[in-house]
Chain A
Amino acid sequence: MMRTAIHLFFAFIFTAAALCGQFGGELRFALGGEPRNLHPLEAVDEPSEVVRYLTKTPLLRINRLTQEVEPQLASSWSVSADGKRVDFVLREGLRFSDGSPFDAHDVVHTFELLKDPELASPVADAFRLEQGGIEVRAVSPYKVSILFPDAVAGVERLFDPLPILSSRSPAPMRATLGPFQIEEYKPGAYVQLKRNANYWRTGDGGRRLPYLDSVRLEIVKTPQLELLRFTRGQLDLIQSLEPQAYERIAATNKQIARDAGASLDAEFLWFNLKPSAPLPEGPKQWFASADFRKAISLAINRDDLVRVVYRGYARPAIGPISPTNRFWFNADLDVSAYNLAAAEALLRKGGFRKAGEQLVDSIGRPVEFSIITNAGNEARSRMAAMIQFDLKKLGVRLNVVTLDFQSLIERIAQTSDYETCLLGFVNVDLDPSAQMNVWLSSARNHPWNPAQETPATPWEARIDELMLVQAKSTDREQRRKAFHEVQKIVQEQAPIVYLVHKNSLAAVSPRLRGVRPGVLWPNVIWNIEEIQKPSELSWTR
């Protein structure tokens, strides 16, 4: 009887502990490399952005699960009808980690720092500060108005990566409003973060979050080593896993392996359509034909790419937007499956014919071209080999060339000396405005023919027009309609052949609680303040 009572007592205590949330513990995970710049406004590489995410807080943030904008340092906000003005009401009584108070002056100060041309902040690019005219006013200690020269579509989303810095702290870069602050950085080894005792969010019982006492970001440069350290229990999670590693982990413990579904990222190949590119006449003429490009697209078996290269942990891509991006994905696009007969028909229409096993064009030139991709990326190398095999059935000879990344970038960005290129696109924002630098014909990152003075083709002119419409409109439906048409044009013209959207795969130690992996970066730690790592001996405080 006594024994049962003791068991019941402990069961009650542990259940209460589980429900209330357990404070304490250290979370360990890997950064894929050295953080290059710990200045929160200058972070460009992923390790620096992870540190920024964990240590700083913006006015508004996109919820990585619901994909909706949520208030953070601002308790509420409103956008004017013309889309040119955003009014924020700030939370009162907040303090930075060093005790300095937070108010509207800090917001104004942050924008002043952002405007500094010496800083060259990538966040400033998003606000298009180079065009000038953005005005930030402290209306009262807890009210801020931000005025833009033009209407900005999806303006709230711009604030997600912008951390607010202290205007009064003696060490403004160290003072933080985020859940953690940097305690120690040992280059080549780790970044140690400790909890910010002044963090504004509270958990159960009104106690200040985060639950964790500290976070140790280990600098581990290879995925193999990261996996090894995870399996030895030295790391608590892996944010991004290869399918093979995922399968192995899932085989040992299904609870550890987490598949959040198709990510926003896309793997694709594009044709070099730049008129001044130093290409032979043959490929130049073939690539200029939309029918030829579509034939190549139809001859690629995407289902096989998904099944063989990604072991089923990916989705065949039909356009630039992943189906995971529910609002912007155009579900009316033609789901053109692998269709060799249709591809051959399109080629015949263009005057191509078979001479033995080899496809030749209307003047008898054998159809042969190359595809470049970066060395060391096993998935891309395998996809290239599979595409090579698929195109061989059409009679097209495809030469696969893997180059070190520097040489690859030089060819695609400077010399334009390539025919087709296989790469991936990491999409960290749901809104198409973030893709202006890809779709506008004048953009330097416009893959198939960058930095055009005027659009080279009518369909590119139409894409420009639609992208500008969606960028300036504040009517979401109008924006969606415009961007759906962009996706349709891209599918019809096929300057880019989309291949797959790979799944967001992660591994999470069973000791962690509160982890809810999503497809948006940072997939696993986006709700870091809610993550708990209870130990056997820890109790609620």
Chain B
Amino acid sequence: MNIVRMAAGIVLATILLLVLPAEWTAPHAYDEQFREVAAAPAAEGFLLGSDALGRDRWSRLIHGTRLSLTLAPAAALLSIALAALIGGAAGYFGGAVERSILLFIDFFLTLPWLFLLLAVRAALPLNASPLVSVAVTFALLGCLGWAGPARVVCTAAREFRTGDLMLQTQAMGMSPRRLIFRQLLPTLAPLFLAQFWITVPLFILSEANLGLLGLSVSQPLPSWGNLLAELLDLPAVAAQPAMLAPAILLVITLCSVQLLTRRQVRNT
């Protein structure tokens, strides 16, 4: 492990250590409103100042980071599982199956999924708790984000099918089940891992984009999405640079993840 990767690992570990026990590390509850000091700059008691409603930004950042860092990988895992299943099947079987699945993937990629997200969100029960609604949002992102990785998996599976290793295993009389689990999946595993790490930031950014539309996590729960939405008010950001903290943390986290996984991606 070179020094850069080690530093990235330490940064990520520090972030996780800070945010996972958010109830203990955050100085205030994320929904507590100190209305007398609304929109205050960084000062004693408020490390990053307070937001427009007087809530402590630092506490909200800790809670929001935990939420986004927990749910985005979960959504990415769901997405990659679907991509492995659908793309893998297309590449492994080839022929009409591959053509049909690729056609379906193309169709799926053309769908305006933002509207699907809006529609599903509108159909959610109104009394769903903020946590349930954000979990559903990420689950939807996971269900909708598989098509891109599936194309990559399909190509790799096709290469495996037409490669020497496939001929050799067939000549040895290996059963399809054994072939898939013993040969195909281990061959594609680094690819899955790389796709997973590429997808995680994508989902974090998607949630942030929904936040900018005001359709992200419900009040009062914080997430990177609704924390980043504050940045729309550019003059306020100029007056209070501490508002940039969520963006800086997002960049640091994503860079650390990329640096940590660079080897897998390059190998793939």
Q: Identify the A interface with B (CB < 8 A).
A: 224, 244, 248, 304, 307-309, 368-370, 372, 375-378, 381-382, 384-386, 388-389, 399-404, 407, 417-419
Q: What 0/1 readout, one digit per residue, does chain B (205-235) give for beta carbons within 8 Å of chain A?
A: 0000000011100111000000000001111
15 contacts between A and B (CB under 8 A): A244-B233, A308-B35, A376-B213, A376-B214, A381-B219, A384-B219, A385-B33, A385-B53, A386-B53, A388-B220, A399-B129, A400-B218, A401-B218, A407-B118, A407-B119
Chain A nearest Cβ from B49, distance in angstroms? 15
Known: A224-B232, A382-B52, A389-B31. A372 touches B126 (CB 8 A): yes
Contact code string B20-40 (vs A, CB < 8 Å = 1, else 0): 000000000001010100100
Given known pairs A244-B236, A248-B235, A404-B118, the reply for A368 and B35 (CB within 8 Å) is no
Query: Are A399 and B122 interface neighbours, CB within 8 A?
Result: no
B128 at the interface (CB under 8 A from A): yes
How many angstroms from the CA of A368 to the CA of B129 in the assembled complex? Answer: 11
A418 to B, closest residue via Cβ: B126
Taking CB atoms, residues of chain B closer than 8 Å to A304 are 35
Contacts of B121 in A (CB 8 A): 403
Candidates B53, B119, B214, B236; contact of A402 at CB < 8 Å = B214
With a cutoff of 8 Å between Cβ atoms, the chain B residues found around residue A224 in the complex are: 232, 234
| Contact in complex: B38, A399 (CB < 8 Å) | no
Please report whether the interface of chain B is mostly helix, strand, loop or mixed according to DSSP.
loop
Q: A224-B232, A399-B129 are in contact. Are A375 and B215 (CB under 8 A)?
A: yes
Taking A386-B35, A389-B220, A399-B218 as known contacts, 5 extra A-B pairs with beta carbons closer than 8 A to each other, sorted by chain A number, are A244-B236, A376-B213, A377-B214, A385-B219, A417-B126
Contacts of B233 in A (CB 8 A): 244
In the complex, what residues of B have CB within 8 A of residue A369's CB?
Answer: 127
Q: Does B130 contact A (CB under 8 A)?
A: yes
A389 and B38 alpha carbons, distance in the complex (Å) = 14
Residues of the B chain whose Cβ atoms lie less than 8 Å from the Cβ of A381: 214, 219
Q: Is the CB of B54 within 8 A of A419?
A: no
- In the bound assembly, the distance between CA atoms of A388 and B119 in angstroms comes to 25
Could you tell me which residues of chain B, from 99 to 121, have a CB within 8 Å of some CB in chain A? 118-119, 121
**A residues near B128, Cβ cutoff 8 Å:** 399
Chain A residue numbers with a CB within 8 Å of B35 are 304, 307-308, 386
A399 and B127 contact, CB distance less than 8 A: yes
Number of interface residues of B (CB under 8 A): 27
Q: A308-B35, A382-B53, A402-B215 are in contact. Are A370 and B235 (CB under 8 A)?
A: no
Contacts of A372 in B (CB 8 A): 126
Q: Given A308-B38, A382-B53, A386-B53, verify A402-B126 contact (CB < 8 Å).
A: no
Q: How far is the CB of A205 from chain B (nearest CB, A)?
A: 44
A404 and B122 alpha carbons, distance in the complex (Å) = 8
Q: Looking at B31, B35, B129, B236, which has the most chain A CB atoms within 10 Å of its CB?
A: B35
Q: Are B53 and A407 in contact (CB under 8 A)?
A: no
Q: Which of B227-249 contact A (CB under 8 A)?
A: 232-236
A365 CB to nearest B CB, Å:
13
Task: Identify which of residues 33-78 in chain B touch chain A, using a CB-to-CB cut-off of 8 Å.
Answer: 33, 35, 38, 52-54
In the assembled complex, which residues on chain A have CB atoms less than 8 Å from the CB atom of B213?
A: 375-376
Given contacts A386-B33, A401-B126, contact A308 B215 (CB under 8 A): no
- Min CB distance B231 to A, Å, is 12
Residues of B within 8 A of A370 (CB): 126-127
B234 to A, closest residue via Cβ? A224
A300 to chain B: closest CB distance in Å? 13
The minimal Cβ–Cβ distance linking B237 to chain A, given in whole angstroms, is 12
Given contacts A308-B38, A385-B219, contact A375 B214 (CB under 8 A): yes
Instruction: Give CA–CA (A158, B128) in the complex, Å.
Output: 46
* A371 and chain B: residue at smallest CB distance: B126
Whether B122 pairs with A389 at a CB distance below 8 angstroms is: no
Q: How far is the CA of A159 from the CA of B252 in the complex (A)?
A: 63
Which residues of chain A are near B119, meaning CB under 8 Å? 407
Shortest distance from the beta carbon of B120 to any chain A beta carbon, whole Å = 11
Beta-carbon nearest neighbor of B122 in chain A:
A407
A403 and B127 in contact, given A382-B53, A388-B219 (Cβ under 8 angstroms): no
Residues of B within 8 A of A403 (CB): 121-122
Which B residues are CB-close (under 8 A) to A407? 118-119, 122
User: A438 CA to B121 CA in the complex, in Å?
Assistant: 29
| Complex: A399 Cα to B127 Cα, angstroms | 6
**Identity of the chain A residue whose Cβ is nearest the Cβ of B218 in the assembled complex:** A400
Q: Which residues of B contact A399 (CB under 8 A)?
A: 126-130, 218
Question: Taking the nearest CB of chain B, how far is it from the CB of A197, in angstroms?
Answer: 43
**CB closest chain-B residue, reference A305:** B35
Min C-beta distance of A74 to chain B, whole Å: 47
Residues of B within 8 A of A377 (CB): 214
Give bound CA distance, A252 to B130, whole Å: 40
Contacts of B214 in A (CB 8 A): 375-378, 381, 402
Q: Contacts A304-B35, A308-B35, A385-B53: A368 and B218 contacting too (C-beta < 8 A)?
A: no
**With A369-B127, A375-B214, A404-B122: A308-B219 Cβ-Cβ less than 8 Å:** no
Q: Give complex CA distance A309, B33 in Å.
A: 13
* Most interface-central of B52, B54, B129 (chain A CB within 10 A): B52
What B residues does A388 contact at CB under 8 A?
219-220
Whether B54 contacts A308 by the Cβ 8 Å rule is yes
CB pair A404 B215 closer than 8 Å: yes
How close is A286's CB to chain B, nearest CB, in angstroms?
A: 14
- For A385, what are the chain B residues with a Cβ–Cβ distance below 8 Å? 33, 53, 219-220
The smallest C-beta distance from A195 to any residue of chain B, in angstroms, reads 36
Cα–Cα distance between A385 and B235 once the two chains are bound (Å):
23
Give Cα distance in the complex from A402 to B33, angstroms: 20
Measured between beta carbons, the chain B residues less than 8 angstroms from A384 are: 219
For A417, list chain B residues within 8 Å (CB).
126
**CB closest chain-A residue, reference B229:** A378
Tell me whether B126 and A419 are in contact (CB under 8 A): yes
Q: Which residue of A lies closest to B54 (CB)?
A: A308
